[in-house]
Amino acid sequence: MKKTQLTLKDKIIHRNANVTVIGLGYVGLPLALAFAEKGFKVLGVDTNPDRVERIQKFKSYITDVPSQQIKRLVGKGTFQASTDFDLLYQADVVIICVPTPIKHRYTPDISYIVSAVRSVAKHLHKDMLVVLESTTYPGTTDELIKPELEKSGLKAGKDFYVAFSPERIDPGNKNFDVTRIPKVVGGLTKTCGELTHLLYGQVIKQVHLVSTCKAAEMAKLLENSFRIVNIGWINEIAQMCHAMKIDVWEVIDAAKTKPFGFMPFYPGLGVGGHCIPEDPLYLYWKARHHNFNCKFIKLAADTNHQMPAYVVSRLEKMLGKPFSKARILVLGVTYKKDVKDLRKSPAIRLLELLRKQAKVDYHDPLIPFLKLEGLDLKAVNLTPAILKRYDAVVVAVDHTAVNYDLIYKNARLIFDTRNIYKGRTDKKVVKL
């Protein structure tokens, strides 16, 4: 009797579909492991041999992923990593999680997506599902991925399936790992969407299906544009309040007592990481191609970008001496509290600006050494004697593992951009 061949739907339901994740960064690795945890056989492919070697040695390079989890799943045989894209031939599902940076003049760089899709195209076969998770402009899936894959002679929506499902990873958020963040999916056709909904439903608690890939692409950009615009607005309010001699933090606390119609955002050095500084600019770029000028995104991006310079100007006025004769300590250099990640960190921009004029050191419990272009520094320890050397300490990032009482007792002047010293009214502490 002839054996009946399983459909992709059957494979997904029974969790014996082979899943390949391209890109093992902050998005791809947690997602790959989530599928492996549920029994899917998962292959992670990455062009970075160091990442693959670390996985093979059971060493995690991402804070939210424990090394023990990698060791267990690799040992169990449900997860493996490789740099060999020819292994894509065995995939039933391919999920693309590659970077999408911004080039000069707000132009999207989709070269990583194009490269990944072309690798998939070489091994595309009937009944394969290809899902893009990388954040991009509305229309990418329809206008770029579909035509590229159809060069194989197979037809999207008929011979194979294509969908978009934006990543929503929040590094360092212990309350919402990849399985607990609701997933948005949109397919090229109804069947594409339904299969993708079924796939993610195996590992993620809530999946929301939209009608098209464009709707899913736009949803992601709406989320991040909402963030950048509101952060830009509150940073402008902070500058306005300072000019009017009003405590912006007190104002925010008062406004958020309203149980409806207000959502608190907080000022700071700007925005960092990959998503918030860059993703909205994809929408800004695409809108211009439709003769639409998206004013809010550009204005917010510019406002946030200049915040480190604003802090420098405020600090210079409060020091009472030229920067050339000042010693400053920057507290925190990561882009986010309690997350070991320097991507687009506004604290790094602050450090670079200050180093052009003053003698500057830094302390960060997560970053003992700072080796970036133009920077080669070692974090200083926080002791009473060391703190007394500095004319000012700038609280750039509010890491939990810092002794703020020690700083308060020994620092001459504190410029607090994170409201760590809420309630302090003495002249030692100056707030953003």
Instruction: Give the β-pairing of 207-210 and 327-331.
Output: unpaired
Q: Which residues contact 412 (CB under 8 A, 6 or more apart)?
A: 388, 390, 391, 392, 428
The pLDDT of residue 105: 66
Contact between 26 and 171 (Cβ < 8 Å): yes
If you count them, how many residues does the chain have? 432
Domain residue extents for the chain:
8-210, 242-431
Whether the per-residue pLDDT at 2 is higher than 50: the answer is no
Q: Are 150 and 156 a contacting pair, CB within 8 Å?
A: yes
Compute CA distances 118 → 14, 150, 324, 332, whole Å: 29, 11, 53, 41
pLDDT at 1 over 50: no
Residue 418 φ then ψ, to 5°: -120, 5
**C-alpha pair distances (Å), 5 with each of 13, 194, 316:** 14, 20, 72
Amino acid, res. 66: P
**How many CB atoms are closer than 10 A to CB 189?**
16
pTM value? 0.90
Question: Is it the case that residue 278 has pLDDT exceeding 90?
Answer: no
User: How far, in Å, CA of 346 to CA of 67, rounded?
Assistant: 29
**Per-residue pLDDT averaged across 349-372, rounded?**
94
Asked if 241 is an active-site residue, the reply is no
User: Rounded to an integer, what distance in angstroms lies between the CA atom of residue 177 and that of residue 183?
Assistant: 12
Q: Where are the beta strands (DSSP E) in 25-73?
A: 41-45
CATH number for the segment(s) 8-210: 3.40.50.720
Per-residue pLDDT for 374 more than 80? no
Q: What are 80-131's pLDDT values in tens digits? A: 999 999 999 999 999 999 999 888 767 889 999 999 999 999 999 999 999 9
pLDDT at 174: 84
Which amino acid would we find at residue 250?
A: E
Nearest CA among 402, 400, 379 for reference residue 329: 379
Beta strands 41-45 and 18-22 are parallel
Q: Is the pLDDT of residue 425 over 90?
A: no
Separation of alpha carbons 300 and 88, rounded Å: 41
Identify the pLDDT of residue 375: 80
Reference 145, options 90, 94, 191, 102; nearest CA is 94
**CATH ID of 242-431, from 3.30.70.360, 3.30.2010.20, 3.40.50.150, 3.40.50.720:** 3.40.50.720
Per-residue pLDDT at 3: 46
What percent of the chain clears pLDDT 70, i.e. is strictly above it? Answer: 99
Average pLDDT over residues 387-399: 97
Q: Which residues are CB-neighbours of 224 under 8 A, at least 6 positions away?
A: 135, 275, 276, 279, 280
Residues 6+ positions from 28 with CB-CB distance below 8 Å: 21, 22, 44, 46, 95, 97, 98, 133
Band (4; pLDDT cuts 50, 70, 90):
low
Tell the burial category of 209 from Cβ atoms under 10 Å away from its Cβ (0-12, 13-18, 19+): buried
The phi and psi torsions of 104 (rounded to 5 degrees) equal -65, 155
Question: Are 8-210 and 242-431 the same fold in CATH?
Answer: yes
Helices in 176-212 by DSSP H: which ranges? 190-201
94 residue type, one letter: V
**Could you tell me the sign of the dihedral formed by the alpha carbons of 191, 122, 24, 368, in that order?**
negative
| Residue 162 φ then ψ, to 5° | -135, 140
Q: 405 in helix, strand or coil?
A: helix
Q: Please name every residue paired with 378 in a beta bridge, in sequence order, or none if there are none.
A: 369
Q: State pLDDT tens for residues 237-251.
A: 999 999 999 999 999
Catalytic residue among 97, 192, 213, 275: 275
pLDDT digits (tens, 9 = 90+) for 140-188: 999 999 999 999 999 999 999 999 999 998 888 888 999 999 999 999 9
Interatomic CA distance for residues 322 and 324, integer angstroms: 5
Distance separating alpha carbons of residues 305 and 319, to the nearest angstrom: 23
Query: Which of left, alpha, beta for 7 (phi over 0: left; psi -120 to 50: alpha)?
Result: beta
Strand pairing report for 375-378 and 392-395: unpaired
pLDDT at 257: 98
- The HSE-up count of residue 273 (CA atoms within 13 Å, CB side) is 20
**Contact assessment for residue 349 and residue 270, using Cβ atoms and an 8 Å cutoff:** yes
DSSP character string of 259-299? SSS-------S---SSHHHHHHHHHHHHHHHTT---HHHHH
